[in-house]
Amino acid sequence: MRALVLALLIATPAAAQTRITDADVRAFVVRQQAAWNAGRLDAYFAAFTPDATFTDQAYNGGRPPVPYGTATLAEARAQTRKAVAKAQPREAARVFRIAIAADGRSAEVTTSVGIQAGSRRMCASRVQTVVLAEGGLKSRGQTDTYIRCRAR
Which element (helix H / strand E) includes 30? helix 22-37
Confidence class for position 12, pLDDT limits 50, 70, 90: very low
The pTM (predicted TM-score) of the whole model is: 0.82
Q: What is the pLDDT of residues 73-121, one digit of tens each?
A: 999 999 998 888 877 789 999 999 999 999 999 999 999 999 988 888 8
Side-chain-side CA neighbours of residue 37 (13 Å): 14
The rounded Cα 130 to chain-centroid distance in angstroms is 6
pLDDT for position 111: 96
Confidence class for position 19, pLDDT limits 50, 70, 90: very high
Asked if pLDDT for residue 128 goes beyond 90, the answer is yes
pLDDT for position 55: 95
Q: What is the pLDDT of residues 33-55, one digit of tens each?
A: 999 999 999 999 999 999 999 99
Closest CA to 106 of 42, 17, 46: 17
Domain 18-147's class?
Answer: alpha beta
Please tell me which residue, 91 or 7, carries the higher pLDDT value. Answer: 91
pLDDT for position 152: 62
Confidence class for position 65, pLDDT limits 50, 70, 90: confident
